[in-house]
Structure 1
């Protein structure tokens, strides 16, 4: 199947799942599919700059990355619809809610690092997209914490995708304006 068809299949599935909860981009009135398409856009832009990059795999991961974490979707559903490799990638990108908050990111990064670099790239692209203007109700402390997590993420996934690492590094610097405001 061509990448356009894979994109359409994944975005339809993810949109339907996120719409079940009427999920919006945090701090906005935008449907959650906007976030998903922004992550996919980062992947599409990175692909030509990324040697030996499996765009078919990465684009599906980008669009599906929050389905297990934020919707009622099961691993089995993702595996049936998109295959086991995609389902394993989405699972690695999903925080384990059974863990204390302080351990969730470390656990997820550990699982991501065991998988192909496309999974790393989606995590980088997700954080790039999330470093837009933060929700208005976030305190400076929350914004600082989120930026610090991005720095850790960038360090832990170094070597996964140079193009996205550069983008994330720039976004981390730019995000300071929201903390000082």
Structure 2
């Protein structure tokens, strides 16, 4: 990974997410972004059969369209079309009413692109499968668990290391659900 590519992406994301916090914390959203990028870098250490320059930029930018005022054209002009397409695929279509259908749509779009896009989605979900926020209902926690299983199934064989890591995080998350009773 060239430092220039990383610096350009992290500066862009840092500016775009400057006011955003990690849900349920006072931590700046760059904590989440850096954790997703770290998962991708760790995966590359175990299996370097993917373009880590592309994957890291996507990891850093993955929530910019969904969570900020950034649009596809801005990412395309600042980075390139392949990165913009990847970030757009990782963005849920809010015009679809059902949360589950939004995820199915996003996963279908991810699977039409390079495997790096799926790798980032897996890394994102690994990062998000920490202890569920205390204000979540048990029903919401269970739905998040089911969504993680869907992601795991739909993105199987993207990266052996990350697929195995996601399966482990799903098992750990399931154990947390039983603690909610």
**TM-score band w.r.t. shorter chain:** over 0.9
| Cα distance in 2, alignment partners of residues 12 and 51 from structure 1 | 26
What are the equivalent positions in structure 2 for 1:1-181 lying under 5 Å apart? 2-19=1-18, 22-101=19-98, 102-181=100-179
Query: Cα deviations across residues 112-164 of structure 1 (Å, max 9, x unaligned)?
Result: 00001000000000000000112110011111110111011100101111110
Q: Is the 8 A contact 1:60 1:86 kept in 2?
A: yes
Q: C-alpha offsets along residues 34-91 of structure 1, whole Å, 9 cap, x if unaligned?
A: 0000000000000122242100000000000000000000111101111110000000
In structure 1, distance between residues paired with 2:77 and 2:149: 35
| TM-score (normalised: structure 1) | 0.95
| SS, match of residue 105 in structure 1 | helix
C-alpha deviation, 1:179, in angstroms: 1.3
Alpha-carbon separation, structure 2, partners of 1:172 and 1:111: 23
The whole-number CA distance in structure 2 between the counterparts of 1:51 and 1:45 is: 10
May I ask how many residue pairs the two structures share in their alignment?
178
For residues 168 and 57 of structure 2, the distance between their equivalents in structure 1, rounded to whole angstroms, comes to 25
Q: Structure 1: where are the runs of 5+ without partners?
A: none
SS at match of 2:57: helix
- CA distance in structure 1 between the partners assigned to 2:139 and 2:101 by the alignment: 19
